[in-house]
Structure 1
Amino acid sequence: MPHLRAANLHDLSYAQGYETARDRAWHLELDRLRGEGRVASVLGAQALSWDTFAVQAQLDEIGQRAFARLSRQTRHWVTAYVDGVNAAFDDGITAQELDDVDVRPGHWSPWTPLTVFLVHHVLFGSYPSKLWRQHVTDALGAEALDVLRMEAVPASGSNAFVVGSARTATGFALIAGDPHRAFEAPNVYAQVHLACPEFDVVGLAFPGVPGIQHFGHAGSVAWAVTNAMADYQDLYAERLSRRDGEVWAVGPSGEEPVSRTVVRVAVHDSEPVEVEVLVTERGPVIIGGPDDDVAMSLRTPAWVDGDLGFETLLPLLGARSVADVEAAFVHWVEPVNNLVIADRSGVAVRRVVGRVPVGAPEDRVLPLNPTDAQAYWDSCLEDLPLAKVAPEAHLVTANERADASYDTISAEFAPPFRADRLNALLDGRTDLTVTDAAAVLVDTEQNAGRALLAFLAELDGLDAAAVALRDRLLGWNRRMDAGSEDAGLYGAVRAAFIDRICASPDLVQLQGPSPYGDLYDGWFVLGSRVATALPQLLAAGRPFGLDLAFLARAALEEVAAAPAPGAWGERHRFHPVHGLEQLGLVQVDLGVTGAPISGDSDCVASSAWAPGTDACTRGPVARYVWDLADRDQSLWAVPLGASGDAESPHHHDQFEPWSTGQLVPVITDWAILEEKYA
């Protein structure tokens, strides 16, 4: 990983841009093209759905607007990073993927880092889940949401915890956690160490974005985030019409003109495609248009204010205390996060940061009616949830509804299983070390499965083989270890049960791709939705008229009669997705693709299970333990490695420590670094 030290802030930012380009040239170029809506110009028509969305959502325009409003110091800092990226590309740095499609890296604009940041987060919020809920409501009625409400949200989530200073072996706080996103190659985060006379910080950064954004350790203070699951993205079900060459929408006061432009999107080896870009009083139209049955606009604080929160990033690097980090995050916009902070003085807090529009809970479930004057917001919540952590306490955040104060920011949160397990693992523990904290992060106990196992225990009328299988599962330790044959049997029974539920006459209406375009297919995987809602379905009696006992009995008997499925890791395999594979093009050999891994969707070791496939494509994209006693006793690892070059020895050299939890030391002592690498 790069350890960068410079005489001043400008040179350090330039160096970070240059070195990021050396490690991640393909990654940077792909994200720049994503932000500008020009992926199809290089990779063909497979990328048109994303490019159309990027152009209609005005991602690059938001980046430009946000850059223009930055303070002079922040603008110069970001520009130095961009200059470093461009200098690297001018020096001929490229990547094998770019050579394969005969493309040279393009020029970065001063605002490109802001656009890239938005690319990583625009689908991270609540609005795709509102599309799913609307789909359920249209097919089955609003009451169906009550039993399909605990959602699996692709590409989001995280675990984090802080242990107070009185509970650790050193007498200083520990912060540990893991961000959950799609497994990508190269990894979505890059490890980096940045130092100049003003600061010395180590952490995880988005390639293409200067500084260290979500997870960092500055020596005297450390921080981390999880997704707060807040609703900060409003969808409006627009009523659009076309008249005399103009487009009109219906708002609370009647008809309103709609801004309209046409953008030509280039397509490799094909004719350009014209994309109609419409902006209503609510926001840009990202789904449908006046000629379609459905049209929806998206309104977010980032679009309304032209602000992406970059004024946080420079003060964050200079933070020395919890108060400094809190002051930096006053400028944060999105995604709305749980921020966990601790410093060497013993202060530790969890604070929700970002801009959450003022709104009623009932407005946070489905797309809004644009004619309803009450469905608009012109301000954001001022009092966001805050919790202080006493020296003798610990605090967990795992995307759950932590307490009643969270009801002001969202109508729906992650199931409580990860948070409950983390609390159980930490309750009563003293003298905790960094290795203890790292071991917590790879815990594989499957608590979400309790409901299914209890349901199976009550079944009658089973044949002898099914009874033997059921009894074996009831005696299982519920650990989803890769080498566990019992976990493999549980996974097979669960999959067979869920398949039968999904095939029921009511739910089969929800099968298939997203009706809103393939960009949202990940949110419309019925098997994943049913798997996450399974405890509620089992508690509902006969949801959708289903005889769940009959279906569970059939699932048990099917698995009992079939050849043994083998260990869990035989079907639960690591699958990082390369950008070319995401677009249906060639699959790149990543060296560790297909490796068995432990964990499951609702384990602390949250490696997501995907119905109907052996591919595990989501989970912790880093694991870290920040030690406030001594930063160089901290531990971390990422699923692959620092380099984006598949031929580099550092492409996936961290897979083993990441997957086993035997994390590697964080080295920041410059004397050691100079001796080791000189």
Structure 2
Amino acid sequence: MSSPVVTKEKRVSLLQKKWQKWLFVIFAILLIIIVMFMGVVYWFVTSSHPELEGELYDDVIREEVSVIRDGHGVPQIDANSAHDAFYVQGYVTAQDRLFQMDMTRRLASGELAEVVGEDALDSDRFFRTYGMHRETQALVEQFDRETAEMVNAYAEGVTAYIEEVFANGNDPIEFSILGYEPEPWTPQDTALVVKYMGYTLSGNYKDELKHYEMVRHMGEDALKLFPNYNEERFPVVTSLENNDDINIPEEQLKQEKDVDNVHPSYEQSEKLVENDTVDDHMEMDHRHIGEIPFSSEDFRELRAYAPSPYNGSNNWAVSGQLTESGFPLIADDPHLGLAIPSVWYQTHLNIENDFESVGVTVPGIPGVVLGHNQHVAWGVTSLSADQEDLFLERVHPKDPNMYLYDDHWERATVIEEEIQIEEEDDPHIERVEVTRNGPVINKVVDDGPYQAISLRWTGAEAGEELNGILRLNRSTDIYEFKEGLEGFVTPALSWVFADQQGNIGYRGQALLPVRQQSTGQLPKPGWDPDYQWDGFIPSESMPQEINPEEGYIMTANNQPIDEAYPFEIGRSFHPYRAKRLENVFEAARSKEEPMTVNDMKEMQVDFYSAKAETLLPKLLDALAVSDQKAVNDQHEGDEEKFDPLGEVEQEVYSLLEEWDYVEHADSSEALIWNLWYQTFADALFEDIFGFSYSNSNTIHDVITKASEHEEHVLFSFLEDEWHQSFPDFARKTFSEAVDEAVELQGENPRSWEWGEFHSMTVEHPLGEVFPLNHIFNVGDWPLGGSAATPGMMGYDQESGNITTAAGWRFVGHFSNDPEFYDILMPGQSGQLWSPHYDDQVEPWIEGELKPMSGSRSERESLKELRFLPER
């Protein structure tokens, strides 16, 4: 009998089935391996998550302390003594934010390179030079007895957690990746965090460098570009004359403010020295800025170390005369750099027979920094004050350690800072020179021995911020609260507060210099005694107000007081968010529509752009003039500077004409408006000076004056140099912005969306590199708003990524049944894959707030960790 014939096709089919079977087996094995690997990784990461339930015996605490975590992981600490409460606060904050705390102190003290390598060396050099770490001991010495106990207990709690988790091998994943163990936490570290927060809200020196370059390019005409100090900036305190809360020394009321119209030449010559005395050649040129031995590149690199220009905030308090309940409302939404974890940490402290406070702090700082207690609620914005000045120094041509002052030479203090670098045997030695005006900061970008710019910052003075935090938490009305702010040096903040008795109040608080000869807009001659600071603005003279007749107080980084105020606070104020918020409050007053908690919540996410409302019509009018001229030239056969508007440009023009100025995420108008404004501002300054300058007050003045056919120094310069009028410039930049929008999102303007470009990815410090960015970062969400809207969303102009926003939103209502709400972006925990890593993102995006943690009876079902004294 013959064998059956197996065809070629059948053999192939059998082989395919076998291969498919084996491929399935291989795939299944690989899948199992991947799942097992991911399981191991997940276990490894989550094994460092803190214990949130059970009992923990401790030989430091004196009585039992309860920590109950609410549904978002917020620790609510019940203790019988301040010592135990702050010890446990330090412990539980480290549970959630230890890596963030260590990164903050390393960044501020210039010790990053020790754990991340040479890439962080330049940053370390700058912060070692800036010198915050050298100032912390003086701050610690200002502690009163109770504050010292608070800070020491907090530091002990942080250190106890460090020792526990590293002894058990449960250290957070970031430490495993970088391969190091943090040092114990100290009171000096807490003081350093306070100083660092002050640094993040300073940075005026960046503008001083830009202003100096403007004057070098244009001479004294450039002084007309600097922001004005006047009532167009929507002052918080609207009248100094009618304010009984501010006490101005009589001699100050009689003085007129000088302007920055004089500056030194800076010639280098050996003639400057003759027997160690000053030659006549050292006399200051009172009319022009001369040549100084710094390049534009040096200035550009030095500006890069300044903090974000968007750091600001909104807050307001509304008295009962304007509210539905007859009791005060208060709201706060600080705008700082977005990051994961958040710069803020939610906390609830209940200390028996002392105080109960709920709100947020900064990891590393004990107590509640923003929020409320049983009697008072409070919030802050940046005062936008000028706390620092640059000084040009004259260096002895034969001895670079000698600096001129008055008619003699003074030797700088030299400090050698050792910077350890990962995987390097020898440290980098940073030679820091400190003159009477402060550390010489330009050596970070240029080591030339005969050029120097020093920086003086009021934050270098010892303050009472930590004493004050304890006073604020214990205050029983706004008067005690306002007194508690005495001695706060930095950050420079606008505090708004309300109490259960129905009062509302405001105080601008910081240590600010009294300048003798200038407004602080330009670097000063460090050798001239007339430019030294003449002490500081007296505390009782700082802007402040209790129960204003308007019935509300609002701050949004706007001018703090009217132009009658005799002291110089600063010039970098932001008018547009304040304008919108003021319009909302005034509308409620005029219509006699009582305000509610929901009104407060809606205002915090309001995307109406008062900047667009103010400036866009002026730009559109200029564009129409330029287009009509192009049409006329075409008809008459004249040489055209521009073609008439094209089809896409006409469509965009029509959209902008009809726009309601609300910057929704799906708004095409918001996209083209923001691109046009930024193109206009960048081109205007980059064409002339070689750098962008987005000070909103200056751009406002440029566009307003040019649109009203008033002469403006910038367009006078452009007309003379390049024969470009305001309409020409509006047309040129409009076309460039439309081209950019087409490149980004196609040729149909009605399909453009602001949120497609303007979106938010929140980054972790380790999320800058692949593949860690996909593990640690969260997002990408399309969002509306901009830096000019009350719902503030500052963004990177190149990528569109939102980098600054309200990381914490808070609304409070004192009434017979008080209500307090907040939300934290992105979440409470810094522990990767914790359920609270980013669980507040969605409600934050939707503009929702959650009730703040309540009484113990409301928390019985939540997780509880009990700290017990050692048996």
Q: Report the TM-score, using the length of structure 2 for normalisation.
A: 0.71
| Contact 2:198/2:492 (8 A) holds in 1 | no
- Quote how far apart the aligned CAs of 1:588 are: 5.6
Q: In structure 1, give the amino acid aligned to 2:645.
A: D
| Contact 1:487/1:568 (8 A) holds in 2 | yes
| Contact 1:150/1:413 (8 A) holds in 2 | no
- Quote how far apart the aligned CAs of 1:108 are: 1.7
Structure 1 residues 405 and 114, CA gap change in structure 2 (3 angstroms): farther
* Residues 185-204 of structure 1 aligned to structure 2 (within 5 Å): 185-197=340-352, 198-204=354-360
Matched, 1:537 2:702: yes
Q: For structure 1, list consecutive stretches of 5 or more residues without a partner in the other structure.
A: 511-525
Structure 1 residues 259 and 136, CA gap change in structure 2 (3 angstroms): same
Structure 1 residues 365 and 283, CA gap change in structure 2 (3 angstroms): same
From 331, 334, 340, the counterpart of 2:487 = 331
Q: In structure 1, give the amino acid aligned to 2:125.
A: T
* Residues 181-580 of structure 1 aligned to structure 2 (within 5 Å): 181-197=336-352, 198-213=354-369, 215-241=370-396, 247-270=401-424, 271-288=426-443, 291-292=448-449, 294-303=451-460, 305-307=461-463, 309-360=465-516, 362-382=518-538, 383-390=541-548, 393-402=551-560, 403-404=562-563, 408-429=567-588, 430-449=593-612, 450-458=614-622, 459-460=624-625, 461=627, 462-465=644-647, 466-498=649-681, 500-501=683-684, 504=687, 506-507=688-689, 509-510=690-691, 526=692, 529=694, 533-541=698-706, 542=715, 544-545=717-718, 546-557=724-735, 562=742, 563=746, 564=748, 566-580=752-766
Structure 1 residues 361 and 154, CA gap change in structure 2 (3 angstroms): farther
Structure 1 residues 131 and 95, CA gap change in structure 2 (3 angstroms): farther
Secondary structure at the aligned position of 2:409 is classed as strand
- Quote how far apart the aligned CAs of 1:543 are: 5.4
Secondary structure at the aligned position of 1:111 is classed as helix
Find the aligned partners of 2:75 and 2:516 in 1 and give their Cα distance: 46
| Contact 1:162/1:340 (8 A) holds in 2 | yes
Matched, 1:654 2:840: yes
Percent identity over the alignment is 25
Structure 1 window deviating more from structure 2 (203-212 vs 426-435): it is: 426-435
Find the aligned partners of 2:491 and 2:817 in 1 and give their Cα distance: 27
| Contact 2:324/2:595 (8 A) holds in 1 | yes
- Give 2:173's aligned residue: 96
Structure 1 residues 452 and 153, CA gap change in structure 2 (3 angstroms): farther
Find the aligned partners of 1:32 and 1:559 in 2 and give their Cα distance: 42
The C-alpha deviation readout for 1:166-207, integer Å capped at 9, x for no partner, is 211222111112111111221111111111020000111110
State the structure with more CA Rg: 2
Q: What is the alpha-carbon root mean square deviation over aligned residues? A: 2.6
- Quote how far apart the aligned CAs of 1:406 are: 5.3
- Give 1:643's aligned residue: 829
- Quote how far apart the aligned CAs of 1:533 are: 4.1
Structure 1 residues 301 and 487, CA gap change in structure 2 (3 angstroms): closer
- Quote how far apart the aligned CAs of 1:325 are: 0.8
From 175, 182, 189, the counterpart of 1:112 = 189
Q: In structure 2, give the amino acid aligned to 1:327.
A: E
Aligned residues: 657
The C-alpha deviation readout for 1:518-557, integer Å capped at 9, x for no partner, is xxxxxxxx1x627774332323432540434223324444
The C-alpha deviation readout for 1:47-75, integer Å capped at 9, x for no partner, is 12221122122211211121123222211
Matched, 1:626 2:817: no
Find the aligned partners of 2:544 and 2:700 in 1 and give their Cα distance: 30
Structure 1 residues 455 and 394, CA gap change in structure 2 (3 angstroms): same
Structure 1 window deviating more from structure 2 (130-139 vs 223-232): it is: 130-139
The C-alpha deviation readout for 1:71-102, integer Å capped at 9, x for no partner, is 22211210110000100000116322211111
Find the aligned partners of 2:106 and 2:817 in 1 and give their Cα distance: 37
From 91, 102, 105, the counterpart of 1:29 = 102
| Contact 1:236/1:297 (8 A) holds in 2 | yes
Find the aligned partners of 1:190 and 1:158 in 2 and give their Cα distance: 17
Structure 1 residues 7 and 584, CA gap change in structure 2 (3 angstroms): same
